[in-house]
Structure 1
Amino acid sequence: MTNHRRDLAIWGYAFGYFACYAPYSALTKALSHGALEGMTRGISGFELLPWSTLASGLGMFLFLTGRGWWQYASTRTFLGLRIPFPGPWTFLSGLCSAAIIATTTLAYTFSGTSIVFMMLLMRGGVLILAPLVDVLSQRRVAWPSWVALGLSFAAVGVATAPGVDARVTTAALVDLGVYLIGYFIRLRFMSRLAKTGEPSAGIRYFAEEQMVATPVLVAVLAVAALIGEGPVLLDIRHGFTELFARGRVLEELLVGVLSQGTGIFGGLILLDHRENSFCVPVNRASSIVAGVVATGLLSVLLGLPGVGTRESVGAALVMGAMLVLSLPAVLQARRAAKRDTQLPGSEAGTGASGR
């Protein structure tokens, strides 16, 4: 892949992230509120986690196998066999990714807190972390990234300004804190090990992180289910044992598949060779726009509260940030394409017809 095509690839990943995130967040919210036809009660976030995480793990395995990315991972010899095995830093990053998977799903199940508002808190927090990680990693931040970061901050400010009905429970704040800590550590490791400009380094990091994240989360949930004491652990146990009784098998598994889709596309965005102050706003903006779309769909189809004026303005500012970030890469790709057509021997230079 040429450099200018690689620079444009992030926008394809951003669309994939959006396409997975909108139905993922909408379906999670609908299930937790019991808003789908025939539901007599909502399914708690902890009940949703077990089977959605198992489906996510299967999606991860199929993706890495289909792309042939296992070969990039580090290996260890076990019983005479060479098997993929994460390094110590990718293992820790995988643990952080596991925490992010769990807290993201839980974030859209808290009662009284809208998808967009919770999403803006989470995304805004990571936006703040992006330039901090770049400074700590001694990476230069280009001016479009600063402009886009400013627009993103403005979007969060509009949505969280005084007068907004922002009911956030203690559980939601704990969820947010774990999410942000996980992202800070993950971005630091990515900057150090994966964002080197060498594509194989990013693929190796991605494969090793993914082979840790979902299996570890499944193991933690299984142990919690075996303990099964207290409301949270009982919900996790019921999550494993009452899948068919809840009657939403397809929807719960689909949450996991879509969650893995966001993990794949979101991870590929963050692993782009450019600075975090560029990649993080692209990642965050895609999910915020997806959240607005999801909220709108829930309002139209299921009668849940819709998108407010402040949230709409915030989404517009975020889309402006994406436009600012995309212009340099698009212009560079156009210049490169024009230069290629003018090279001696090219079709444009020789007058040869295309096949």
Structure 2
Amino acid sequence: MKDRMSAFPLEGYVFLYLLAYLPNVIVTKLLTSTPHPGLGRPLTGLETLPASLIISTVLTYLFIWWSGWHRDANAVMVAGRRVPVPTKYTLLSGLGTALVLFTVPLSFTFQGVSIPFIQLLMRGDILLIAPLVDMAFGRRVRWWSWTALVMVLAALVITLSDRGGFNLPPLAILTVVLYTIGYFIRLAVMTKVSKSGDPASVRKYFVEEKVFALPLSVALLAAISASGIGGQSGELGWGFVQVWFDPVIWPLLAIGFTLTVVSVFAIIILLDPRENAYCVPLERAASLVAGVGGALILAWVWGLPHPRPAELIGAGILIAAIVLLSLAPRFADRPARAARAETT
């Protein structure tokens, strides 16, 4: 089935993804770098995440209803109303997605490990598993996808080497492993059931996965807060309760909104029928470019630390990878298009 979603080029969605991610990076970094008037220190990721995730959950549900995407999803009738529910595959994907959303806040809590360092490490793992998922499902991985994958990995290696290598505490390593497992589950399910090029399949997958994964991730965070274990529970308690009565809720609304927009564009990019080794580097590179671009804006406008030279070099390599992924398939398809034109 062809509709406006399939008519819009994939690179256009990548650009929109980047535009939505950029303000998310800027607002989040400002909240976690500028002292909070009441606390006397910047907010932590665990204090900002619960509200932004709850806001994103509500906005995602509203989007599912307003857009009509729920009509493509599997559903049951409850009190005369059609309620979307996941299938066994999207339920599994939702578990993987919740695992991803659950491990991200943990990555903010490790002493002596910078947040950019561990985020880059987690993204690098995803780029490594993308072609493995393709090969496991018998999907062809073409030369430009391999080339772009190597370029993106080189950018990550340069940045990570500049930050001192892979010295991490055991719990941080476990967090990276669980995050990678969650993302692997998600990519595997996507490849099996939804990378068909059918826009209705994209809508169905998005709805069925999100209606389960988002509330589950909030529940997992709430369980940590209620447990009272460690300092992170107090931070989460503030993020679940006090934040709603604090002026900081307004920028958190902006974060939740951009998270929702990014999630829509991300699912469209990742469920494109082309191989994961093409789609995943495209989506990951765009997010990293947005991160570096946001850091530059924060340095120029708000006086925050300027990105390191290695980070700028990595961003340049990532931009080159995006250009390659955008242009190479078009040049490769020209002979086939010319042959079809001659036969008509």
CA spacing shift, 1:302–1:115, aligned 2, 3 Å:
farther
Instruction: Report the counterpart of residue 271 of structure 2 in structure 1.
Output: 271
CA spacing shift, 1:333–1:146, aligned 2, 3 Å:
closer
Does 2:108 match 1:70?
no
RMSD: 3.3
One-letter amino acid of the counterpart of residue 21, structure 2: Y
| Per-residue deviation, residues 99-121 of structure 1 (Å, max 9, x unmatched) | 32344456567666556544422
Deviation at 1:302, TM superposition (A): 3.5
The alignment partner of 2:214 has SS state of helix
One-letter amino acid of the counterpart of residue 308, structure 2: G
CA spacing shift, 1:4–1:221, aligned 2, 3 Å:
closer
Q: Give distance in 1, aligned partners of 2:4 and 2:211.
A: 30
Query: Where in structure 2 are the equivalents of 1:112-191 lying within 5 Å?
Result: 116-161=116-161, 164=164, 172-191=172-191
CA contact (8 A) 2:46 2:108 kept: no
CA contact (8 A) 1:155 1:318 kept: yes
CA spacing shift, 1:244–1:55, aligned 2, 3 Å:
closer
Q: Give distance in 1, aligned partners of 2:30 and 2:158.
A: 26
Work out which of the two has the higher radius of gyration on C-alpha atoms and give 1 or 2: 1
The alignment partner of 1:236 has SS state of helix
Instruction: Report the counterpart of residue 351 of structure 1 in structure 2.
Output: none
Q: Give distance in 2, aligned partners of 1:220 and 1:104.
A: 12
CA contact (8 A) 1:59 1:260 kept: yes
Deviation at 1:67, TM superposition (A): 2.0
Deviation at 1:225, TM superposition (A): 3.5
Q: Give distance in 2, aligned partners of 1:328 and 1:36.
A: 48
CA spacing shift, 1:259–1:313, aligned 2, 3 Å:
same
Deviation at 1:139, TM superposition (A): 0.6
Instruction: Report the counterpart of residue 292 of structure 2 in structure 1.
Output: 292
Instruction: Report the counterpart of residue 200 of structure 2 in structure 1.
Output: 200
One-letter amino acid of the counterpart of residue 293, structure 1: G
Deviation at 1:52, TM superposition (A): 0.8
The alignment partner of 2:9 has SS state of helix
CA contact (8 A) 2:24 2:255 kept: yes
| Per-residue deviation, residues 5-54 of structure 1 (Å, max 9, x unmatched) | 83862212211221122222332233223357887212222222221111
Does 2:262 match 1:262?
yes
Gaps of 5+ in 1: 345-355
Q: Give distance in 1, aligned partners of 2:87 and 2:284.
A: 28
Length-normalised TM-score, structure 2: 0.86
The answer to which of 269-278 and 234-243 deviates more is 234-243
Deviation at 1:144, TM superposition (A): 1.2
One-letter amino acid of the counterpart of residue 185, structure 1: I
| Per-residue deviation, residues 126-160 of structure 1 (Å, max 9, x unmatched) | 11011111111111111211111111121112112
Instruction: Report the counterpart of residue 34 of structure 1 in structure 2.
Output: 34
Instruction: Report the counterpart of residue 24 of structure 2 in structure 1.
Output: 24
One-letter amino acid of the counterpart of residue 305, structure 1: P
CA spacing shift, 1:166–1:301, aligned 2, 3 Å:
farther
CA contact (8 A) 2:117 2:163 kept: no
Q: Give distance in 2, aligned partners of 1:4 and 1:258.
A: 22
CA contact (8 A) 2:32 2:45 kept: yes
Gaps of 5+ in 2: none
CA contact (8 A) 2:155 2:318 kept: yes
Q: Give distance in 2, aligned partners of 1:332 and 1:66.
A: 39
Q: Give distance in 1, aligned partners of 2:148 and 2:7.
A: 17
Instruction: Report the counterpart of residue 311 of structure 1 in structure 2.
Output: 311
CA spacing shift, 1:281–1:229, aligned 2, 3 Å:
closer
| Per-residue deviation, residues 43-96 of structure 1 (Å, max 9, x unmatched) | 222222221111101221122223210000001233454321111221121122
Length-normalised TM-score, structure 1: 0.84
* Identity over aligned pairs, percent: 36
The alignment partner of 2:161 has SS state of coil
The answer to which of 98-107 and 319-328 deviates more is 98-107
